[in-house]
Amino acid sequence: MTDFTTATASCVERLQDLIRIPSTNPPEDLGGAAGNDPTGGETAAARYCADVLTGAGIGAEVLEAAPGRGCCFARLRATVANPLPPLILLSHLDVVPVEAASWSRDPFGGELVDGIVWGRGAVDMKDMVAMELTVMELLNASGMERQRDLIFAGVADEEAGGTFGASHWVTARPDLFGSAAGVAAAALNEVGGYSMVVGDERYYTIQVAEKGIIWTRLLAEGVAGHGSMPHDANPTIRLAEAVARIAALEPSGTPPPVVKDFFAGLGLADAFAARADSVAAARTLIDARVSDPALRRSLAAMLVDTITPTVIRSGSKMNVIPGTGMGEVDVRTLPGTDQEALLERIRTAAGPDVRVEALHRLPPVEADAAAEIVGLMTDALVQADPQATPLPMMITPGTDAKALATIGIPTYGFAPLRLDADMPFLSLFHGHDERVPVSALAFGLPVLYEVVSRFVGVDGADR
């Protein structure tokens, strides 16, 4: 029998160690934080993963697409002749920067207080990194016969689109993501697997789809001058008015079937149906049934393409009219949306005085919600928590699933965590006071191990 109590303790320690390596993206000088390397935090995290795996008798390598942008790859090979295609345990090692003054605790301290691990990356996604490392160790120690290779891929740069991480390596080294049997059959990744409460019922998400991305820049030009002599060619005004028009665009897009089924499973079929007539009406129904404000926002964003202005920069001095202004807009598109057509709507709304540029464009992705591995996830969750209901779903952010999709690998979000109803889980992604309960890891580790061992192990193997 696998000793999950000891394994969970190791998993928690690894999460703390990883948090103490400030692998921020973009890299930044953090003034002596534990493990601080202002240019190589991702490589430091990758080396940590390699050391853990090597210490467990699993060969691992650290690869850099650029100095400091390290990734860790490792592989447990199949033990049978004519193996099936591999399974990938995918994770990203980078984290977003912090506003340390807004945190209750050191964001890179990895503190364990009253059964909670605190720090940047606790939920996004060093908790999953720690669980995946521990699953690799446990599976290797089990002596189980394996019908597939099991690949660990801890990559850099997910938070900025993957240029120095997954997107680079699927092109430069596709062999890292497959075997002689072919490209991987599936990858397990972040975000899905967590519990949530709607009404009095508990549900677990299994991520099978995600929205597309268009990161968009607005550029306004005008005439510089003295602030005491206003004129009509002020780029600050042009930019502000363009942003207001863009934000006021009518919602677009048609949700895929997985969203309709997800809403029905949550008892929100009427909210989904109301969306056809009025997005506002759908949001009203969601708000009346769902207590978690972050979950309300997430559900509403599943129903439409979203256009969110996030950055406005114009001018540097009170009494100077600037010559230029810049804004940034985060656009997320549903499967089936024509991204170019949506960009054209944004350009029209911006007007002739503001140029619209798509800086980074990634398509939505969808995987088979009826795949074998989804059934294994469902079974493992129900076995661990018989009172809850697992549901396939689409997430509104983007992940490295997009990179793996380019070489034909379906990716599923499955970082299983059982959370108390009052845990503000979704708001902790990129938020202050990021943290995860040890109890959630103690629940999730055996569930993840069960899914991996059943998919990778030979039928009938002793687990």
Pinpoint the residues of the chain covered by CATH 3.40.630.10: 4-199+367-456
CB of 177 within 8 A of CB of 422?
no
Q: Edge-to-edge strand order for the sheet containing 435-437?
A: 112-113, 116-118, 435-437
172 φ/ψ angles, rounded to the nearest 5 degrees: -75, -35
Do 154 and 91 meet the contact criterion of CB atoms below 8 Å apart? yes
Residue range(s) of every CATH 3.30.70.360 domain in the chain: 210-362
How far from 361 is each of 229, 273, 390, 435, CA to CA, in Å?
40, 30, 31, 31
CA distances from 261 to 273, 365, 394, 435 (A): 11, 17, 10, 30
In this prediction, residue 29 carries a pLDDT of 53
The pLDDT assigned to 39 comes to: 56
Residues in the chain: 463
- Supply the pLDDT for residue 462: 46
Cα–Cα separations (whole angstroms), residue 106 to 28, 102, 119, 244: 16, 10, 7, 37
DSSP 26: S
pLDDT at res. 36? 47
pLDDT tens digits for the chain (463 residues)? 789 999 999 999 999 999 999 999 987 655 444 344 555 899 999 999 999 999 999 999 999 999 999 999 999 999 999 999 999 999 999 999 999 999 999 999 999 999 999 999 999 999 999 999 999 999 999 999 999 999 999 999 999 889 999 999 999 999 999 999 999 999 999 989 999 999 889 999 999 999 999 999 999 999 999 999 999 999 999 999 999 999 999 999 999 999 999 999 999 999 999 998 899 999 999 999 998 999 999 999 999 999 999 999 999 999 999 999 999 999 999 999 999 999 999 999 999 999 999 998 999 999 999 999 999 999 999 999 999 999 999 999 999 999 999 999 999 999 999 999 888 888 899 999 999 999 999 999 999 999 999 999 997 444 4
Q: Does domain 4-199+367-456 have CATH number 1.20.140.150?
A: no
Q: Are 177 and 43 in contact (CB under 8 A)?
A: no
**For the whole model, what pTM was predicted?**
0.92
Residues pairing with 214 in the sheet: 331, 361
CATH topology for the 210-362 domain? Alpha-Beta Plaits (3.30.70)
Look at residue 40 in the predicted model and tell me its pLDDT.
82
Cβ-Cβ contacts under 8 Å for 140 (sequence gap 6 or more):
56, 57, 58, 76
